[in-house]
Amino acid sequence: MANCSSARVASHAALASHAALAPIAPDSTTHVRAGVVRSSIRFDHLGARSVSIAYEAQGPAGAPATVVLGGISAGRHLAPTASDPSPGWWPGVVGEGAALDPARHLLVGIDYLGGNSEDGLLRPVTSHDQARAIAAVLDELGIAAASIAGASYGGMVALAFAELFPARVARLVILSAAHRTHPMATAIRSVQRSAAELGVATGQAARGLALARALAMTTYRSTREFEERFESGPLSVGKPGQSPSYFPVEQYLNARGADFIRRFDTERFLALSESIDLHATAAASLLPRTSLVSFDTDVLVPPWLVDELAARSGRCPRHITVPSIFGHDAFLKEVDAVATLLEAGIPEVVR
């Protein structure tokens, strides 16, 4: 195992030393292309299936292409368009004037495969299966090679893509992801899946899925953030013999669960949650043009696991650990730090 060193920055200001890229002028020819690719994919466990892959691409023709991938609830919509003015799932990092700007990059997003669809139940599905879907979209767009910015599950998919299609990768920036999951993270997700499955079995699918999401939120954030954010007492006290109603943190978790069930269904959640725990790539397949980013309070993908990937790869890629109170969700919350590292890892040059 290689003896690789990793950088643990003391502050966000220290990240400035990792980026020295001058911005280039926006291109007025930015355009949006969205659609559905129909492709035959050989799944790791399901065999050959013809599937539909929804995508959205924004940016000037001929600009450097970057595939942008997030967690299991992320999708193809990355930045506001005329037909969909919503900000996308990574605001502040992707968008006009941001690190990943559709005026300067050709940005590609996809909807992950998994769960019930017109193609039947897609489960189990792996990070490698998602990588094959991305390759089909790039083929449709006529893109031979692209950079990939992948965070959380998207980072796993990016690593799988690099393993399967190394010649098609220009640069990789992997945030909050590694070559494998560790047993404690799998244990927590298995309880989430059990809650969702119990909901279905008892005729309370929405309730089960909301509880699964609420439990997930306790692992996405850090104990330090919860200590600073929430009071420990209840908002109100029930009648004698009744439980206190709504501790502040309980109210927050219930709200996150309610929001999730408006956007997700149980089968899709089960397929993608399971896909995280099926993830495994060979560390030796890591490409030399890779930047790794972890966060010091992330309990799902702790910095030591990313160190393991770097060391076992034998390539000693750059690994930077960023301080944050936001745990695994820091890739969504630490906008300035993430933007700085993306600008350094995915230069605005045509390759």
Whether 18 is catalytic: no
Looking at residue 24, what is its pLDDT?
A: 35
In the chain, CATH 3.40.50.1820 covers 7-180+279-345
Whether 152 is catalytic: yes
- 130-161 tens-digit pLDDT: 999 999 999 999 999 999 999 999 999 999 99
Q: Quick one: what percent of the chain has pLDDT higher than 90?
A: 80
CATH superfamily of 7-180+279-345: Alpha/Beta hydrolase fold, catalytic domain (3.40.50.1820)
Looking at residue 29, what is its pLDDT?
A: 54
Catalytic residue among 6, 73, 152, 275: 152
CATH topology classification for 183-274: Rna Polymerase Sigma Factor; Chain: A (1.10.1740)
Whether 31 is catalytic: no
Catalytic residue among 128, 179, 319, 328: 328
- 95-129 tens-digit pLDDT: 999 999 999 999 999 999 999 988 789 999 999 99
Position 18 pLDDT exceeds 90: no
In the chain, CATH 1.10.1740.110 covers 183-274
SS (H, E, C) the chain: CCCCCCEECCCHHHHHHHCCCCCCCCCCCCEEEEEEEEEEEEECCCEEEEEEEEEEEEECCCCCEEEEECCCCCCCCCCCCCCCCCCCCCECCECCCCCECCCCCEEEEECCCCEEECCEEECCCCHHHHHHHHHHHHHHHCCCCEEEEEECHHHHHHHHHHHHCHHHEEEEEEECCCCECCHHHHHHHHHHHHHHHHHHHCCCHHHHHHHHHHHHHHHHCCHHHHHHHCCCCCCECCCCCCCCECCHHHHHHHHHHHHHHHHCCHHHHHHHHHHHHHCECCHHHCCCCEEEEEECCCCCCCHHHHHHHHHHHCCCCEEEEECCCCHHHHHHHCHHHHHHHHHHHCCCCCC
pTM comes to 0.92
Q: Quick one: what percent of the chain has pLDDT higher than 70?
A: 90
- 179-238 tens-digit pLDDT: 999 999 999 999 999 999 999 999 999 999 999 999 999 999 999 999 999 988 888 776
Catalytic residue among 298, 319, 324, 329: 298
